[in-house]
A = this chain, B = another copy of it.
């Protein structure tokens, strides 16, 4: 049996850190999850990951060869290799790439989680074979990754792709970033909840959600109720799809991608979101952009997309 090359993909989140060994075909040969414990020094997390992976590989030296590490993390700067003051980790600015390089003695690359998702879709998911596309990850916020000419767009500061903080309304909803009217205040799991609250205030339409406190509303519940025909839930999806559709049209007219790939929990909403988003996008496109740009759900739904994406960064950087 020949030795198989694997990359270590690490998805650092505010609460948990997931990591795993991934082959070139995208197959995950081992997966792990540990609490991030970001109040402790980053070095401690690195040590725990090192311990798990080295224990796993110990009796498999003839089976797997670790060739590199890819990391997806909030506020990760591809150019500097650092995580820079993410709001949900207590580390300040840390050169986590160097720490992993020291522990494992392999090449390490880091980028933010949204960019890692885009690379995951390009190598192993819905964007296979595409060289111009944009991923939009709808979770608590809205993350995005832009690929141009087959390459991740990092931009001059390493932070390109912040579609979630594009301003769509000057005096709009307050955003965690300190600005107002950012797209992610409308188009995200929390955004659709805010939209429901607004619709409840404005409309007289009956809805089960009138019986629930704001804090109990969730995108998942709104999705379920929309499928049952709840009008407020349906209108919330329509409003979300409209804003996402116009935003896709706007990005399309700048970058002319082949497709937008919708990732994250809301990608499961299917026709409720994706079909409508496509319709609204088409309405707003210039003639020479119409009927050519796809809107697709992630090709990694129900898979460990964070780990696969982080490994894709390593595969795309260190393949040879």
Contacts and interface: CB of A to CB of B under 8 A. Distances in A.
Contact of A84 (B131, B132, B149, B288): B288
B167 A249 contact: yes
Contacts of A149: 148-149, 151
A254 B132 contact: no
A156 B132 contact: yes
Contacts of A144: 254
16 contacts: A75-B288, A148-B149, A155-B256, A159-B289, A160-B254, A160-B255, A160-B256, A162-B286, A162-B289, A163-B253, A165-B253, A166-B254, A167-B246, A167-B249, A170-B246, A179-B284
Contacts of A84: 288
Contacts of A160: 253-256
Contacts of A143: none
B155 A132 contact: yes
B167 A258 contact: no
Interface in A159-211: 159-163, 165-167, 170, 177-179
Contact of A159 (B156, B157, B288): B288
Given A148-B148, A162-B254, 14 more contacts: A132-B155, A146-B255, A148-B149, A153-B255, A155-B255, A160-B254, A160-B255, A160-B256, A162-B286, A166-B253, A166-B254, A167-B246, A167-B250, A177-B286
Interface in A51-83: 75
In the A-B complex, the 7 residue pairs with the smallest Cβ-Cβ separation, listed nearest first, are A155-B256, A160-B256, A162-B253, A166-B250, A132-B156, A156-B258, A157-B256
Contacts of A167: 246, 249-250, 284
Number of copies: 2
A157 B288 contact: yes
Contacts of A255: 146, 153, 155, 160, 254
A96 to B, nearest CB: 17
A257 interface: yes
A287 B86 CA distance: 11
A292 interface: yes
A285 to B, nearest CB: 9
A256 B148 CA distance: 13
A148 B153 contact: yes
Interface string A290-320: 0010000000000000000000000000000
B289 A157 contact: yes
A94 interface: no
A225 interface: no
Contacts of A75: 288
A253 B250 CA distance: 13
Contacts of A251: 254
A177 B246 contact: no
